[in-house]
Every structure is written in C-alpha cells, then in structure tokens.
Chains A and B, each alone.
Chain A
C-alpha cells in the first residue's frame, strides 16, 4: 500500500526550513528517502530502520516513529540545490522492495 506524503508541494525562500511527512497504514521495517530533480535519477538521502532513530545528512535529517508508522524529513536552512521532488519509499519487511509515495515538490527560491 502506497505511503502518503504531505505536503504535496512547498515553496521556500533560501534559508528557510521545511518538513516533509510520510505515513503508512501498515507496519514498516524501514523508510528510505530520495530526491529527484526534473529529468534526472532519484538520489539517495538516507535510510531509517524501525526503532525510532533519527539520522542526519548535512542540514537534512529524518526521523521514524515506528508506533505511528510515520517518518519526517527535516530540511534546515534550505539551499537552492535542495529544490526537487522528495520521495519516501517504504519497506514492509521484504528487505528489497520499496513502495514509493507520490512525492513532495520542493522549490527553493533566492
């Protein structure tokens, strides 16, 4: 079952913060986050395993609430290069098959 992402789109000015949410109605083993720029390949950001851990990657971090089956991606002090569509992909235990959400389009303006 496809995870639900929110918001569908967000527009920021450079330096502002954003949160992108991903929720599932089914129990999850892991949540993966990717960013895709128009016409390009999706690029890996991070993986979160069940256990509620929070991970960081430069100014981008994420959390996974196992009880709520929700993950959030936090982008702080956004840069122009952060623009793109963010996808969460969920794994329900196969350890290989990801089900992706519809994506969140993030636009960062100067």
Chain B
C-alpha cells in the first residue's frame, strides 16, 4: 500500500475485554514500531521489531500488552483485560532502518469504558 495502514480506526472496549490492533507497514520496511499517544501528549515508545524479531519491548506498560510480527510484515498489538488507563491512540510506524525517518499510520483510538 501507499502508507502504513492501521485497523480498526476506533475501538471501544469494556473494561476487562481483550483487544487486538493491527498494523500493515509499508511494503519492504524492515523496522516496525508501536507507540502509545495519550491525549495531549507526545507518542511514547512501546516496542520495536526488526523483521519478525522483537528487539525491544521495554516500553510495554505491563504483561497485559503483547506484540507480534510473525512473518516480518503485519504486526498485531494485543492488550488483555483492558483497563481505563489503556485508553489512548496506538500508533504504528515503519521504516527501512531503525534510525531513519518514521512513517506513521493514523493510529487506532482505543477507548476503554
């Protein structure tokens, strides 16, 4: 595709539900990132993949958060037993190499009620 695609665009979950957020990076991009953006804040790093390998997951807030990229392209961010504090926009980004400019998707806005 032309850009980074994320789905769904909006997700409303009841507290305690599990959710899965999908990211389809630009074709050929080796690196993939997940960031969390709270209202009125800058994006906050969650995790980093190089191909299918998750090289850094230090930003994941708790063990309820899990990310995978099994074939080195599409990635899924899963949040188990969602809490109200998980409400945020989840941004996915990709590039050819880690330190270069990031191409961001439009994000998934998660609201936990």
Contact = CB atoms under 8 A, between A and B. Distances in A.
Interface of A: 2, 30, 32, 34, 39-44, 47, 87, 89, 91, 94-103
Given A87-B42, A97-B56, 12 more contacts: A2-B42, A39-B106, A42-B91, A87-B43, A94-B56, A95-B99, A96-B31, A96-B33, A100-B42, A101-B42, A102-B42, A103-B42
B99 A91 contact: yes
B-side binding surface: helix, strand, loop or mixed?
loop
Nearest to B100: A47
Nearest to B98: A96
B60 to A, nearest CB: 13
B42 A40 contact: no
A40 B106 contact: yes
Query: Would you list the 8 A-B pairs with minimal beta carbon distance, nearest first?
Result: A96-B98, A100-B42, A41-B104, A95-B99, A44-B101, A41-B106, A42-B104, A87-B42
B98 to A, nearest CB: 3
6 contacts: A41-B105, A42-B91, A87-B43, A89-B43, A102-B40, A102-B41
A95 to B, nearest CB: 4
A104 to B, nearest CB: 10
